[in-house]
Amino acid sequence: MKNFTTALTTALTNRNAVAPSKDIQLALNNAKRFEKALDSLFGKAAFDKIAKKLIARCEIAEKAGNANDFIAVKVLVKIVSASVAIAQKNTSVLDPYSETILRNLVTLQTVNNKTALVSLSRSIEYTEADQQQAIKTRYNCSAGTASTQASSTRMMLEALDICDVQKGKKGDVISFKENDRARLMVSLFAEVEPVEDTEAHDETESENA
């Protein structure tokens, strides 16, 4: 998509006018700061496919009547950061909570909600009834922060069409999708061959995304 950042900043500005938020302003400032990186990434066929729908979703200010497409303000910030991280091939741009979850996801292939929480907060522990996973990377924040951050990271990965989110008996389970968006994210953390922009450019899909 050409001029992605211009469209995104317009959507965020419109949303901020309706429902002002420091997080929206932060996402807006970061988008302007990293305009070149964002335009480069969403100019690729893999991300062009989701660009128009993503921008439309970013502009939705009210959750009522738009529950499936509404994106929370803190998720907006993570969407911009994750997109810049992929574009610049630089994990340091990610927030530490998303980076922790993603490093574990790359290793484990799937991460359930409890594992995400345990990886973010040492005050949360597995119980005997939990499906325990071998955590590779850990962060340490409060239990409440862990819950909020795990949820917003999960929603960010879903909004960027990088991960599938499946409902389970003990919470959501995330896994990488089989697409170039997911492969580009994985390549930030794993020693794999560079991902080529192989997905065919489909104008129809892009229009309907």
Across the range 72-97, mean pLDDT stands at 97
Quick one: three-class SS letters along 86-133? Answer: HHHCCHHHCCHHHHHHHHHHHHHCEEEHHHHHHHHCCCCCCCCCCCCC
39: which 2 tokens?
């335009």
| DSSP-derived secondary structure for 146-178 | HHHHHHHHHHHHHHTT-EEEEEETTEEEEEE-S
Q: Considering only CA atoms, which of 76, 63, 70, 67 is closest in space to residue 30?
A: 76
Lowest mean pLDDT among 78-82, 137-141, 167-171: 167-171
Binning pLDDT at 50, 70 and 90, where does residue 191 land? low
Model confidence over 23-69: pLDDT tens digits?
999 999 999 999 999 999 999 999 999 999 999 999 999 999 999 99
Model confidence over 104-113: pLDDT tens digits?
999 999 999 9
Distance CA 117, CA 124 (A): 7
20: which 2 tokens?
């002002």
Distance CA 168, CA 133 (A): 15
Binning pLDDT at 50, 70 and 90, where does residue 129 land? confident
Q: How confident is the model at residue 168, as a pLDDT? A: 74
Q: Which CATH class is domain 95-190?
A: mainly alpha
List, by residue range, all CATH 1.10.10 domains of the chain. 95-190
Across the range 3-31, mean pLDDT stands at 98
182 Cβ contact list (under 8 Å, min separation 6): 162, 163, 176
**What is the chain's mean pLDDT, rounded?**
90
